[in-house]
């Protein structure tokens, strides 16, 4: 596998000859967040047409695309190393950090890395505990794991079971990680419609967990409509076995965005996908399928909606949110096609499957989200590469608003949104397509900045460690954190 500085932008003509209308229709019809398989499965594969395959091969030959598995990056980004998958064969998912350790979710469990030497990270332990997505976060000696697939019970030995069966379980699992070499499973809390993602909100001796889930059905005994809010779990730090659901605040009393056919191509709001809390400011931002919300979390068990926005022209699925350092902006992501489609191309364009940048204006209960612009990576991808805006975090550069962000097979993008109306990419890292004939789900699920380095959890290729050296980001190297759960945004100031 080669690694090449590759500062040029992929030529914009890539893929223009594809059947634009057919591709866009298939993207709009794709189920949100449905690109990844059940635990234990391989990434979803979708053969592309002969003409699309030939176009990808021709683009590689011309130099418009890197070759299969070839690594390219901007001159200011340096790949330091990669740790492939090991005992856990499932899809890699989210990341969390504490001290010298990184915690990596996987559809078959989670893995703990020692990143004390970022150039030579090593595996400390791997825990087999199937249950998508297995998004992970940490607080003190506790690790939280989201289960959003219907299981036979709450154990790590459970098997897949239909959600139509009342005995099925999904929700939140809690582990004791005081011994990183030997994590111990200590508690489980079942939640309505499972736990697709979760967000920690610390409060003195307790931790509140906001559980995001969606897609109810009358045929699911534990996930029936309406499902217009989030589950809130209270976890006593010193007695996690007493963790329990303490509320289900309704965020959408009117039912939220109705989706299609009223708003064609937009997901109907039936819950939230992800929430980012900013505890210092007592704010949170929720990405909730067809809606984006700004929340007051001054009472952690009772989050309250301050403002709600929709974009029924360019946003198909509100996926995640990130505040800037001052809490005066929110970046929302649109996961067009659920992460399983090729949307970083000329046919889809620059405003769909992108980030939406919103300024927060006003004070107190009068605060509002005001749209400013979209950001999408400027490098077109092949028809065989799933690519769309996904998980990212701030790079705490002094006086600037800069993010690093995962784009699945679009790779890792570092971009500046200091001017909300004029965002621009300043660095990147990516691999060439996994295949020239088949769209194979892969690429960076989460890309986060932690204590001077970028860590990317690639769904297929494993953990990548990167370094960015740039005058615009160098000031961030002096910011040191003792922990980082990106969905619980720290006060870098």
How far lies 395's CA from each of 115, 347, 467, in Å?
18, 31, 12
Contact 455, 64 (CB under 8 A): no
Q: Which residues pair with 209 in a beta bridge?
A: 200, 233
- Tell me if residue 453 falls in helix, strand or coil: strand
Rg of the chain, C-alpha, whole Å: 21
Secondary structure in 3-state letters for 258-270: CCCCCCCCCCCCC
Cβ(220)–Cβ(168) below 8 Å: no
Q: Give burial (CB, 10 Å; 0-12/13-18/19+) of 246.
A: middle
Pairing of strands 391-395, 444-450: parallel
Please classify residue 103 by burial: count the beta carbons closer than 10 Å to its beta carbon, then call 0-12 exposed, 13-18 middle and 19+ buried. Answer: buried
Instruction: Give the pLDDT confidence score for residue 42 in this predicted structure.
Output: 58
Mean pLDDT, 10 residues at a time, the chain of 493 residues:
41 33 40 53 81 94 95 98 97 98 98 97 98 96 97 97 97 98 98 98 96 98 97 97 98 97 97 98 98 98 98 98 98 96 96 98 98 97 97 98 98 99 98 96 98 98 98 98 98 89
Tell me the pTM.
0.94
pLDDT confidence of residue 56: 95
Distance from C-alpha of 182 to C-alpha of 136, rounded to nearest angstrom: 17
Measured between alpha carbons, how far is 319 from 250 in angstroms, rounded to an integer? 19
Q: Which residue in the block uniquely carries the two structure tokens 């200091």?
A: 418
């Amino acid at each position: 596998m080669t690694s090449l500085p590759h500062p040029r932008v992929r030529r914009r003509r890539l893929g223009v000859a594809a059947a634009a209308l057919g591709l866009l229709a298939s993207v709009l019809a794709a189920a949100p967040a449905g690109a990844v398989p059940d635990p234990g499965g391989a990434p979803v594969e979708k053969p592309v047409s002969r003409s699309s395959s030939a176009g990808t091969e021709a683009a590689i030959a011309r130099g418009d695309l890197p070759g299969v598995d070839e690594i390219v990056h901007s001159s200011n980004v340096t790949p330091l190393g990669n740790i492939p998958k090991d005992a856990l064969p499932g899809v890699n998912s989210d990341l969390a950090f504490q001290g010298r350790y990184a915690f990596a979710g996987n559809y078959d469990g989670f893995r703990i890395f020692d990143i004390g030497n970022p150039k030579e990270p090593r595996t400390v332990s791997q825990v087999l505990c199937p249950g998508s997505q297995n998004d992970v976060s940490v607080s003190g000696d506790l690790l939280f794991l989201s289960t959003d697939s219907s299981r036979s019970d709450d154990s790590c030995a459970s098997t897949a079971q239909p959600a139509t069966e009342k005995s099925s379980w999904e929700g939140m699992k809690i582990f004791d990680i005081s011994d990183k070499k030997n994590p111990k499973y200590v508690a489980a809390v079942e939640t309505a419609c499972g736990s697709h993602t979760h967000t920690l909100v610390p409060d003195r001796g307790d931790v509140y967990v906001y559980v995001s889930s969606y897609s109810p059905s009358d045929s699911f005994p534990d996930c029936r409509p309406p499902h217009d809010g989030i589950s809130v779990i209270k976890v006593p730090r010193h007695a996690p076995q007493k963790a329990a659901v303490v509320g289900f605040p309704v965020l959408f009393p009117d039912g939220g965005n109705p989706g299609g056919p009223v708003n064609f191509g937009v997901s109907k709001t039936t819950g939230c996908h992800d929430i980012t809390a900013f505890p210092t400011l007592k704010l949170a931002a929720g990405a909730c399928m067809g809606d984006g919300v700004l929340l007051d979390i001054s009472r952690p068990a009772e989050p309250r909606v301050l403002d709600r926005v929709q974009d029924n022209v360019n946003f198909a699925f509100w996926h995640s949110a990130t505040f800037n350092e001052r809490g005066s902006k929110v970046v929302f992501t649109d996961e067009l096609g659920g992460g399983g489609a090729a949307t970083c191309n000329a046919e889809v364009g620059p405003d769909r499957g992108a980030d939406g940048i919103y300024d927060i204006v006003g004070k107190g209960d009068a605060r509002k989200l005001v749209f400013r612009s979209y950001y999408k990576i400027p490098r077109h991808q092949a028809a065989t590469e799933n690519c769309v805006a996904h998980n990212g975090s701030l790079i705490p550069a002094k006086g600037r608003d800069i993010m690093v962000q995962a784009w699945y097979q679009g790779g890792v993008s570092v971009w500046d949104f200091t001017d909300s109306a004029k965002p621009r990419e300043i660095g990147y890292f990516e691999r060439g397509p996994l295949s020239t004939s088949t769209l194979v789900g892969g690429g960076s699920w989460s890309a986060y900045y932690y204590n001077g380095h970028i860590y990317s959890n690639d769904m297929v290729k494993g953990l990548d460690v990167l370094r960015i050296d740039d005058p615009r980001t160098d000031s961030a190297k002096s910011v040191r954190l003792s922990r980082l759960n990106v969905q619980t945004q720290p006060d870098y100031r």
